[in-house]
Amino acid sequence: MRRIRFPKRYWIVILTFIATCVCYIERVGFSIAYTVAADAVGVNQSSKGTILSTFYYGYACSQVPGGWAAQKIGGRRILLLSFVIWSFTCAFVPLDPNRVVTLVVARLLVGVAQGFIFPSIHTVLAEWVPPHERSRSVSLTMSGMYLGAAAGMLLLPSLVKFRGPQSVFVAEAALGAMWSLLWIKYASDPPRPEHPKATAASFGESSLLPMKRSQKVKVENGGSSVKTASIPWKNIIFCLPVWAIVVNNFTFHYALYVLMNWLPTYFEQGLQLSLQDMGSSKMLPYLNMFIFSNIGGVVADHLITRKILSVTATRKFLNTIGFLVASFALMALPLFRTAGGAVFCSSVALGFLALGRAGFAVNHMDIAPKYAGIVMGVSNTAGTLAGIIGVDLTGRLLEAAKANYSDLSTPDSWKEVFLIPGLLCTFSTIVFMLFSTGEKIFD
C-alpha cells in the first residue's frame, strides 16, 4: 500500500491549536492559583481585579507590534519567541500576593509575550491554509483556547489543593517549554508561491475567496511578497468592515475574560459552591466552547464551498446567531441559583459566543489575507482592552455590591456583572450586520 502523506499545513494547524490550548491553561491557571493565594491573605475583590487585569495591559501593548513583527520577521519565529519569554517568566516568578510589584511586572511581561501569539498565528495560518479551509482551520486553532480553559478548570484546582498555588506556575512553564520544542522540530515556513508544491497545495488566492477585478489581475500577473509590501495603515484604520471586526472582538473578549476570571468567584461566593466539589461540571462551559467553535468552522466552510451562502452572508449568519443567543444567556445567568443551572447557562453563553467566532474571527483573512496578522493585531488590541476594562470593572462592581448587600450571594449583586456583556453582544450583532463583508478589501 502507498503511504498516505499527511499535509504539512495540517501539522501547522495542530501545533497552533496546542499553542492556544497551553496559553489558556496559563491564563486560567493564574486566575485559580492567585485567587486561592489572595484569599488566604485577605486581599479584597477590587485589588484582586487589579492584579488579574494587569496581564491585559501588557497584552494590549503588544498586539499591533506583534502583527508588524510577524509580518516583517515571520510568524513562526515570533510565535516561538513569545512562548520562550512567558514560559521562563512563569518558571522563575514566585506567586506571593504580598509581593505586588513583582506580580505586576511578571504579569505585564507575560501579557506582552502572549500578545504576540495570536497575530503570529493568524500570519502563519494565512500563509499555510488555502481560503476554502480557513474557517475550520481558524476555528480548530482558536478552540484550543477553550479546551485549555476546560482542562485548567478541571485539573488545576486539585493541583493547587495538593501541591500549592506555586505548582501551577511550574506546570505551565513545563507545558510552554514542551510546546516550544515541538514547534522547533516540526514547524517551518511555507513553500514560496511560485514553487510547484505551493501551487498544488492551493497556497495563495482562490476563486472561492471573492476579490475585485484589479486584484485578480495583480494576482495572476504575480505580486510583491507579503513581507516586502507596504502596510496600508490608513486604509485599515478607517475601514468600516475592520471596525465591525474590532467591535465584535471587543465584545467577545469582554464576555470571555469576565467569565474566565470571575466565574470561579461566582461559583464559590455567589452560589456558595466549592470548585473541588463541583468535579468535572466546572469545565463544561469551556468544553462547550471547544465543541461549538469547531461546529461553527465546519458549518461555515460547508456553506461557502457548496455555495449555499456567500462568504459575507455566512459570516453574518453565524455571528448573529452566536451573539444573540449568548446575549440572552448572559443576562439570564444570575437568575440560576443551582450549580446545574449556572453551569448550563454559562455553557450556552460561551458555546454560542464560540460559534460566533466563525463569523467575525475568520473575517480578518477574508478582507485582508496578506495582512491578516496586522488586522488581527488591531482587532485583538480592542479585545485586550475589553479584558482590562471588564476584569477590573467587575472587581469594582462586586466590591460595591458587597458593600450594599453585605456579601455576594444574592442575584442582585451579580446582575450588572452579566448584564453589561449581554447588552454588548446585542449591540455588536447590529454593527456586524450593517458593516461587515466577506470580500477581500486589501491587496
The secondary structure of the chain in percent helix, strand, coil, rounded to multiples of 5, reads 80, 0, 20
Contact 282, 153 (CB under 8 A): yes
Rg of the chain over Cα atoms, rounded to whole angstroms, equals: 21
Give the separation between CA 135 and CA 146, rounded to whole angstroms. 17
Cα 343–chain centre separation: 21
pTM for the model? 0.74
CB neighbour list of residue 162: distance below 8 Å, 6 or more residues apart: none
Give the separation between CA 188 and CA 164, rounded to whole angstroms. 38
Q: Is the dihedral of CA 363, 304, 352, 294 positive or negative?
A: negative
Q: Is the dihedral of CA 327, 29, 145, 391 positive or negative?
A: positive
Q: Nearest-CA neighbor of 84 among 160, 6, 173?
A: 173
Cα 209–chain centre separation: 24
Contact 102, 94 (CB under 8 A): yes
Give the separation between CA 41 and CA 260, rounded to whole angstroms. 22
pLDDT confidence of residue 205: 39
Give the separation between CA 126 and CA 13, rounded to whole angstroms. 11
pLDDT confidence of residue 442: 79
pLDDT confidence of residue 231: 79
Contact 316, 338 (CB under 8 A): no
* DSSP 8-class letter at 160: H
Print burial letters for 307-324: b (CB count within 10 Å at least 16), e (below 16): eebebbebbbbbbbbbbb
pLDDT confidence of residue 276: 66
Give the separation between CA 395 and CA 123, rounded to whole angstroms. 35
Give the separation between CA 378 and CA 380, rounded to whole angstroms. 6
Give the separation between CA 283 and CA 262, rounded to whole angstroms. 14
- In the structure grid, which three cell numbers stand for residue 383, read together? 479585545
Q: Per residue of the chain (443 residues), what is the pLDDT tens digit?
A: 345 567 888 899 999 999 999 999 998 899 889 988 888 888 887 788 788 888 888 888 888 888 888 888 888 999 999 999 999 999 998 888 888 889 999 999 999 999 899 889 988 988 888 877 877 888 889 889 888 988 888 888 889 889 999 999 999 999 999 999 999 999 888 776 544 444 333 444 333 444 444 444 343 444 434 444 577 888 888 999 999 999 999 999 999 989 877 887 888 888 877 766 666 777 788 888 889 988 998 999 899 999 999 999 999 999 999 999 999 999 999 888 888 888 899 999 999 999 999 999 889 888 988 887 788 888 888 988 887 888 889 888 988 888 888 778 787 888 899 999 999 999 999 999 999 998 988 76
Contact 337, 173 (CB under 8 A): no
Phi-psi region of 307 (alpha: psi -120 to 50; beta: other; left: phi over 0): left
Give the separation between CA 429 and CA 381, rounded to whole angstroms. 19
